[in-house]
Chains A and B, each alone.
Chain A
Amino acid sequence: MFELLGIPPQALFGQLLLGLINGAFYAMLSLGLAVIFGLLNVINFTHGAQYMMGAFAAWMLLEWAGVPYWGALVIAPIVVGAIGIAMERLFLRHLYHLDHLYGLLLTFGLALIIEGVFRKQFGSTGLPYANPLPGGTRLDFMFLPWYRAWIVAASLAICLGTWFMIERTKLGSYLRAATERPDLVQAFGINVPRMITLTYGFGVGLAALAGVLAAPAYNVNPLMGSNLIIIVFAVVVIGGMGSIMGAIVTGFALGIIEGLTKVFYPEASNTVIFIIMAIVLMLKPAGLFGTPK
């Protein structure tokens, strides 16, 4: 068996795959944040809690209603997205004319409340969720579990599908135009307030979908979102706030970089993303894919 820089290939590719999977979650979550920030001008700190709600929705559907994973993959994003729509109607829409900071504070508060409720109800040790795709295949250089391959494939499809919808369809052109001049887009006859509400619901649904994908891979835990969201925000800053392709590429790339750091210099693996963020902020404050305002 060959070795790369003294590292056994199983360890290298194993970490690479883990990095790719973490990157898939970074990409999906930062994508939702980018979509929401682009149109609503709100930095959605509730995103991590909504991801956690997606995972819990899958767990509840299975445990309480007997709905299997594949059903939860459809139902959980719709249910959590609908809860997001209610939150937008009740709270967020009152903040659009204010500075970003107010939306950030409100969504941060909401995230704490949601997490608190789930912790009280379910504790913080985490609940197991059965792997719907057990087994895997042995490749020359590593063992590839089916479920991990599914996460990467599904998240790539979700990310590219969302990119296609925003960059290549009529609906996407309404969204992009409304990001620039919502008043003018509305004066063309498009119901912009409704579009904003549905966009928030869609972004939240994306977070919930990522949560369902995460449920069998990690434990379903009330804190799973807050652990992840800080890194996701770093990803968004590095990619460029509001950039769709930036969110996708940066998400996957940083997951891989983090995975490789675990192999070559494990001590830095928890901080490497934040070091990159600091460097990007100094050299390119609008992010790698963002446009300065």
Chain B
Amino acid sequence: MHNGSVELAVKGLNAWYGESHILHGMDFEVHKGEVVTLLGRNGAGKTTTMKAVMGMIPSRKGSVQFEGEELIQLPSNRIAKKGIAFCPEERGIFSSLNVYENLTLPPPVKPGGMSLDEIYEIFPNLKERLKSQGTKLSGGEQQMLAIGRILRTGATMLLLDEPTEGLAPVIVQQIGAMIRLLKEKGYTILLVEQNFRFASTVADRHYVVEHGKVIDMIPNDQIGANIQKLEIYLGV
């Protein structure tokens, strides 16, 4: 499943939006080459966890270690340079940039990123729409653009926040195939999902998040035995 070395270790992570205390001591680990999901209901703190890992929330405490290095004091631009890339839930496509500009916006942070041709091979739609305004693409294409642009950077750890949200089933299948392909290529992926049926087709392990804390961890090969428990956790 994975070679054992811990890529991302989050310990006792707390985060605040102004006065609101959102994360109450998140603890989890992601191993090199693993796909791990954070499952949970709306408002459980999954997106906040990703943003706190990425340094996008100024008010945070605890420990976030990437390849053994502590990130909690670093601003997000320096965290990105360590090799972590974030794809936000709302995709974050820039309306004042065309598709090509969106795709090439994030600067390379490490050698070994995918070339544009490799990205076009995975997402052929993008190549045909390079001159279009980024936000004129369909939802699925925007998601492909949002993921494609972080593959160029050489980041080895990808934080994907609900990549399937609001997409048609056939596009969700494509995203699933793409995540499996990225895993084969050696990327480490932390995925936020509400749809555990989708998550179970791509992930190695699942952390269940509730009220800003991890309350359970379920390996993917035991998901069948834990299905009732999961349904209760997620309020399905």
Query: What residues of chain A have their CB less than 8 Å away from a CB belonging to chain B?
Result: 170, 173-174, 176-177, 179-181, 183-192
CB-CB under 8 A from B54, the residues of chain A are 187
CB-CB under 8 A from A183, the residues of chain B are 56, 76
Task: Judge whether A177 and B97 touch: CB under 8 Å.
Answer: yes
| C-alpha spacing A177/B107, complex, angstroms | 13
Q: If A184-B92, A187-B54 touch, does A177 touch B105 (CB 8 Å cutoff)?
A: yes
| C-alpha spacing A28/B97, complex, angstroms | 24
Whole-angstrom distance between the Cβ of B178 and the nearest chain A Cβ? 20
Task: Judge whether B75 and A173 touch: CB under 8 Å.
Answer: no
Whole-angstrom distance between the Cβ of B56 and the nearest chain A Cβ? 5
What DSSP secondary structure best describes chain B's contact surface?
Answer: loop
How many contacts between A and B, using CB within 8 angstroms? 57
CB-CB under 8 A from A179, the residues of chain B are 96
Q: If A173-B101, A173-B105, A192-B77 touch, does A187 touch B55 (CB 8 Å cutoff)?
A: yes
Task: Judge whether B94 and A187 touch: CB under 8 Å.
Answer: no
CB-CB under 8 A from B56, the residues of chain A are 183, 186-187
| C-alpha spacing A176/B93, complex, angstroms | 12
- Is B80 among interface residues, defined by CB-CB distance under 8 A? yes
- Is B106 among interface residues, defined by CB-CB distance under 8 A? yes
CB-CB under 8 A from A187, the residues of chain B are 54-56, 76-77, 79-80, 86
Task: Judge whether A184 and B96 touch: CB under 8 Å.
Answer: no
Query: What residues of chain B have their CB less than 8 Å away from a CB belonging to chain A?
Result: 54-56, 75-77, 79-81, 85-86, 88, 92, 94-97, 101, 104-107, 109, 150, 153
What DSSP secondary structure best describes chain A's contact surface?
Answer: helix
CB-CB under 8 A from B79, the residues of chain A are 187
CB-CB under 8 A from B55, the residues of chain A are 187
From A177, A188, A192, give the contact of B96 (CB < 8 A).
A177
| C-alpha spacing A188/B76, complex, angstroms | 8
Task: Judge whether A174 and B109 touch: CB under 8 Å.
Answer: no
Extra contacts besides A187-B86, A188-B80, A189-B106 (20): CB < 8 Å:
A173-B101, A173-B104, A176-B96, A177-B96, A177-B97, A180-B95, A180-B96, A184-B86, A184-B88, A184-B92, A185-B105, A186-B56, A186-B76, A187-B76, A187-B77, A187-B80, A188-B85, A188-B106, A189-B81, A189-B153
